[in-house]
A and B are shown apart, each in its own frame.
Chain A
Amino acid sequence: MKPNKLPFIIYFAVIVVAIALFRPSHLTTNMLSIFEHDENIEKLQTLNSFENTSMLFVTIEGFNPKNLNRLKEIEKKLKKSKYIKETKLNLSKIEISDYIKKNYYLLSEFKPIPLDNQNIKERLTKLRASLVDSFLYQPIDKNDPFKLFDFNIFTKDNLSKDGYLRVGDYGYLLTAKLKGNATDMRVAKEIEQSIKDILADQSDDVVAFSNLFFTAQNSTYIKKSVNTIMFFSFGLLIVLFFITLRDYKVLIATMLTLGGSIFVALAISSFVFEELSIFALAFGSAISSISVDYLFHNYFHRQYLKKGINKSIFIAFLTTALGFVFLQFVSFPLIVQLSFFALVSLSFSYFQFTFIYPYFKFAPKENRLSLKALYNIKPFLPVNLVFIFSIVAIIYAGFHIRFDYDLKNLDYDNQSLKAKQAVIQNNMPSKSTILIEANSIDELIEKASILQKKIPSFNSVAKIALSNQEFKTKREKLDSFDFKKLKELLNQNAKAIGFKDGYFMEAYSFTEQIPKSYSPDLEAFKDMGYEIIKRGDKFYTIATMNKNEKIEPMDGVYIIDAKELIKSTTQNMFDSLLLYLSLSFVSVFIIIAWVTRAKTILALDFILFPIAMILLYLSFVGINIMHLFSIIIIIVAGIDYGIYMSSDAKSDETKEAIFYSLLTSFSGFGILVFSSIGAMHSIGVVITIGILAILLLVISLKSKPTYNQPSFKQE
């Protein structure tokens, strides 16, 4: 076997292994998968598991018969859709589930009365008077004339007008339960399209909103935006390589290398991680693109025409890789995933740029665009001053920066949908969501029941369910009451007071039919909007209450405020992240100090100055999780450039290599600064500031005369 073929054999072997290991199903767009799986995230995931959470709201401004009829027409069409479970508009539509019919008297509040003749006489007299004199028609319930059983699950909310649902003073409201999870992108798109078709013949005044539309529309917008950005990005790269470098072979080879590295990293990561976040892929790819500096450094130093490897590049690669190894221990899934991804990708890129590219003997073209004007600028920034400024700026930013924990800010700013959401939300009573957790269904109902009794606006499964203890108590109460005697006294006195003879013959006979056993019917509960689910070995249900009401701390009862939960989790993750980032930094610092010796400060400037500039900017707008990860990308680039610059700062080749690396990074990811999607803009802005900061250093940083360190001597 000829030695020069070995790298190609390894290359293809790696690709084959990667294809075999690739697990596309492990890729997830679930935002929650990027967080440490702690109890907060577990709660949010539990909340996402409830089916009843996807609702469609349709309304038209103004209470008039025309609008009402239009909503009725829409309702008819919605009912035919396979994605609609149940609609609600006309509240007078009477549908009582078999479960309620069966357990009506058990679920009712039972109010016993004293069983003496005088009391019964008085009650019958009052009953007669109410039939004759009352302004309200009060027909007698022959089964329960004294109203000993009271069942009322109706809400006190001001949600109806003329027997129809309404949304505040805006208009009548039609609601529909959607069959589909709000986080499933494909299903969300299908449902949105189907609803769009149903509403196609309606004018624009129909407001139709569902949280699920955010999933559907935003993913479409994001895809569209990514396509546009990719188009520009690709265009820029072509301009870069064709017009400036005038070397199409390098373009093709680089694309193949980066594409291959990203695929191998993706395949192996998808095999290693059961849930691989799409963000790990995005950031991992961005970090991978940084590896293009290995190519440019070799290329401009004409390393591919020489024998051996460039030691600066090797050290830069090793330093970065070591940093990522430390990040493997962070309890932050996205960091772990993307650092693993980056490790694999950078390693494979390094392997190709170092061992395969010499075979092609790439070298810069003589007719490439001259960057002389750029190198001729006289450096004016003192190394030490930049270092001190960076440290001071980082400390200043550290005190002034605030974290933006709202994940919604990372999404596409969907103004038209937000306006529709506002119509519904601003006109509906503000509610808190409460997640109740228990080891058994019975314990769950018991907890809900305790809260139901304490909090007037509490709306939970306890309205229609009984715990074992409640059933037992209710049965004992019923069994201890003498219904036979009541019936006797009733019939004895009724005729004398004026009631028709035998009118109450069947009164309270139903009490013999009240069930002697009780079991919760989860399907019936779900149909009535009170879902109970099992996750792991625990049972959960959701309840709501008015925002202004307080809840006493209780085991297994959580008020769900997504923003707060994510904030708390992110804060915990940051502690771990800071620890391991510090370890990474120390290791990187040691290597840099060891290899760059007297030029350590200069090398560190390339890491600290971009960070300082980015943090200064972020101290004005707030830092989010995407900014944070993008900073890591810039650090990776800074490590490489710092090592190159300190090894041979005066070399025009090094500057040219860095310039093209920066331009490639900007084409690939800095361009995202123009995106209107929060997450992408955040990445773009950090990378652009970072790139500009590094470019400023490359052009204007004063440097001491070059040391001819043996370890950095170009071979």
Chain B
Amino acid sequence: MQRIFFILPLLVVSLLSQTVNFKETKYVEALQLYTYRDGNVTYSDKSTVVRYADGKVITKRDNNLTVQNDKGELLTTINLNEKPDVALYFQLTKALFSKNFESLKDNFDIEKSKNKYRFIPKGDTKKVIKDIELYLNSDESIKYFVINFTNMDTIKIETK
């Protein structure tokens, strides 16, 4: 059942219509393995576009997610209405980057210390996510955040 929340795209949604470069570090407990990826994300009112260094482009427009390879060929299309977990992840990352935590309050309790936020899951979210930590730079911009899953996987996203 937990699988409902598991298929999370590693996407980062940034603020406003600006492009943010990021580095993603993923730890996969099943393989005891770290993977790294660089990319950038452009977020506008209508769409979110994530470009990875290897050329893959993920575009979210309305409720559709498309993935293209480095040659611009369409690899797959996902209807987010059928994948609320993926849609949820977009919302989660967008909320984290924009520091607009209101939409997370239904599923998380939020603790704030000096330059850090901690999101503690509530209800059934607890079964998937252990917690989320978000660190700020001295200018209050996002330094990085880490999503710790209950299966011991972690995803860390740093802005560059």
Query: Residues of A with Cβ closer than 8 Å to B?
Result: 63, 65, 69, 72, 90-96, 100-101, 104-105, 128, 131-132, 135-144, 147, 151-152, 154-163, 498-500, 503
Contact A69 B102 (CB under 8 A): yes
Contact B82 A163 (CB under 8 A): no
Contact A136 B100 (CB under 8 A): no
Contact A151 B1 (CB under 8 A): yes
Whether A500 contacts B30 in the complex (CB less than 8 A), given A132-B35, A156-B82, comes out as yes
Whether A72 contacts B58 in the complex (CB less than 8 A), given A139-B153, A140-B30, A161-B63, comes out as no
CA gap between A93 and B103 in the complex, in Å: 9
Chain B residues contacting A128 (CB-CB under 8 Å) are 31
**Which partner residue on chain A sits nearest B125 by CB separation?**
A94
Chain B interface secondary structure, helix, strand, loop or mixed?
mixed
- Tell me the count of chain B residues lying within 8 A, CB to CB, of chain A: 50
**Which partner residue on chain B sits nearest A169 by CB separation?**
B62
- Of the candidates B10, B81, B90, B123, the one whose C-beta lies within 8 Å of that of A154 is B81
Contact B58 A135 (CB under 8 A): yes
Distance in Å: Cβ of A549 to nearest Cβ of chain B: 18
Chain B residues contacting A139 (CB-CB under 8 Å) are 6-8, 28, 149, 151, 153
Q: With an 8 A cutoff between CB atoms, is B2 at the interface? A: yes
22 CB contacts below 8 A, A to B, read A69-B102, A72-B102, A92-B87, A92-B88, A96-B124, A131-B33, A132-B31, A135-B9, A135-B52, A136-B8, A137-B26, A139-B8, A139-B149, A144-B3, A154-B81, A154-B84, A155-B81, A156-B79, A160-B84, A161-B62, A162-B91, A499-B31
Chain B residues contacting A65 (CB-CB under 8 Å) are 100
Contact B106 A158 (CB under 8 A): no
Distance in Å: Cβ of B102 to nearest Cβ of chain A: 7
Chain B residues contacting A96 (CB-CB under 8 Å) are 1, 124
Whether A92 contacts B30 in the complex (CB less than 8 A), given A139-B151, A154-B81, comes out as no
CA gap between A69 and B103 in the complex, in Å: 9
CA gap between A317 and B31 in the complex, in Å: 98
Q: With an 8 A cutoff between CB atoms, is B107 at the interface? A: yes
Whether A138 contacts B7 in the complex (CB less than 8 A), given A132-B28, A132-B31, A500-B29, comes out as yes
CA gap between A95 and B6 in the complex, in Å: 16
Contact B33 A160 (CB under 8 A): no
CA gap between A442 and B58 in the complex, in Å: 45
CA gap between A151 and B84 in the complex, in Å: 13
Distance in Å: Cβ of B146 to nearest Cβ of chain A: 13
Query: Residues of B with Cβ closer than 8 Å to A?
Result: 1-10, 26, 28-33, 35, 45, 52, 56, 58, 62-63, 67, 79-84, 86-88, 90-92, 94, 100, 102-103, 106-107, 123-125, 149, 151, 153, 155
Chain A residues contacting B90 (CB-CB under 8 Å) are 162-163
Distance in Å: Cβ of B72 to nearest Cβ of chain A: 15
**Which partner residue on chain A sits nearest B100 by CB separation?**
A65
CA gap between A707 and B116 in the complex, in Å: 109
Contact A137 B31 (CB under 8 A): no
Contact A138 B87 (CB under 8 A): no
**Which partner residue on chain B sits nearest A510 by CB separation?**
B1
Chain B residues contacting A499 (CB-CB under 8 Å) are 30-31
Distance in Å: Cβ of A177 to nearest Cβ of chain B: 18
**Contacts beyond the supplied A136-B9, A157-B81, A163-B87: 16 A-B pairs with Cβ under 8 Å:** A92-B87, A94-B123, A135-B58, A137-B153, A138-B6, A138-B7, A139-B7, A141-B2, A143-B2, A151-B4, A152-B82, A158-B63, A162-B91, A162-B94, A498-B33, A503-B30
- Give the interface centre of A91, A137, A142, A160 by most chain B CB atoms within 10 Å: A137
Chain B residues contacting A90 (CB-CB under 8 Å) are 103, 106
Chain B residues contacting A92 (CB-CB under 8 Å) are 84, 87-88, 91-92, 103, 106-107
Contact A136 B35 (CB under 8 A): no
CA gap between A77 and B32 in the complex, in Å: 48
Chain A residues contacting B7 (CB-CB under 8 Å) are 136-139
What 3 A-B pairs come out closest when comparing CB atoms?
A: A163-B91, A93-B106, A141-B3
Chain A residues contacting B58 (CB-CB under 8 Å) are 135
Contact A101 B155 (CB under 8 A): no
- Of the candidates B29, B81, B102, the one whose C-beta lies within 8 Å of that of A156 is B81
Contact A131 B1 (CB under 8 A): no
Distance in Å: Cβ of A252 to nearest Cβ of chain B: 68
- Of the candidates A137, A162, A500, the one whose C-beta lies within 8 Å of that of B8 is A137
**Which partner residue on chain A sits nearest B29 by CB separation?**
A500
Contact A131 B102 (CB under 8 A): no
Whether A159 contacts B8 in the complex (CB less than 8 A), given A132-B28, A137-B155, A500-B32, comes out as no
Distance in Å: Cβ of A507 to nearest Cβ of chain B: 11
CA gap between A141 and B123 in the complex, in Å: 19
Whether A131 contacts B28 in the complex (CB less than 8 A), given A104-B1, A141-B3, comes out as yes
CA gap between A500 and B81 in the complex, in Å: 34
Distance in Å: Cβ of B7 to nearest Cβ of chain A: 6
Chain A residues contacting B94 (CB-CB under 8 Å) are 162
Chain B residues contacting A152 (CB-CB under 8 Å) are 82
**Which partner residue on chain B sits nearest A100 by CB separation?**
B1
Distance in Å: Cβ of A201 to nearest Cβ of chain B: 19
Contact B124 A135 (CB under 8 A): no
CA gap between A156 and B78 in the complex, in Å: 11
CA gap between A156 and B4 in the complex, in Å: 16
Contact B88 A141 (CB under 8 A): no
Chain B residues contacting A140 (CB-CB under 8 Å) are 6, 30, 151
Chain A residues contacting B91 (CB-CB under 8 Å) are 92, 162-163
Distance in Å: Cβ of B36 to nearest Cβ of chain A: 11
Chain A residues contacting B4 (CB-CB under 8 Å) are 151
**Which partner residue on chain A sits nearest B50 by CB separation?**
A135
Contact A94 B1 (CB under 8 A): no
- Give the interface centre of B1, B32, B83, B151 by most chain A CB atoms within 10 Å: B1
CA gap between A100 and B2 in the complex, in Å: 12
Whether A101 contacts B1 in the complex (CB less than 8 A), given A92-B106, A92-B107, A94-B125, comes out as yes
**Which partner residue on chain B sits nearest A132 by CB separation?**
B35
**Which partner residue on chain B sits nearest A90 by CB separation?**
B106
Contact B3 A131 (CB under 8 A): no
Whether A160 contacts B63 in the complex (CB less than 8 A), given A137-B8, A137-B9, A154-B82, comes out as yes
Chain A residues contacting B33 (CB-CB under 8 Å) are 131-132, 498
Whether A135 contacts B10 in the complex (CB less than 8 A), given A92-B106, A94-B125, comes out as yes
Contact A158 B81 (CB under 8 A): yes
CA gap between A559 and B32 in the complex, in Å: 56
CA gap between A187 and B83 in the complex, in Å: 39
**Which partner residue on chain A sits nearest B8 by CB separation?**
A137
Contact A147 B63 (CB under 8 A): no
CA gap between A100 and B107 in the complex, in Å: 19
Contact B81 A159 (CB under 8 A): yes
Contact A91 B84 (CB under 8 A): yes
Distance in Å: Cβ of B155 to nearest Cβ of chain A: 6
Contact A135 B67 (CB under 8 A): yes
Chain B residues contacting A101 (CB-CB under 8 Å) are 1
- Give the interface centre of A65, A136, A156, A161 by most chain B CB atoms within 10 Å: A136
Contact A93 B107 (CB under 8 A): yes
- Of the candidates A93, A131, A161, the one whose C-beta lies within 8 Å of that of B31 is A131
**Which partner residue on chain B sits nearest A494 by CB separation?**
B30
Chain A residues contacting B106 (CB-CB under 8 Å) are 90, 92-93
CA gap between A139 and B5 in the complex, in Å: 10
- Give the interface centre of A65, A91, A139, A158 by most chain B CB atoms within 10 Å: A139
Chain A residues contacting B81 (CB-CB under 8 Å) are 154-160
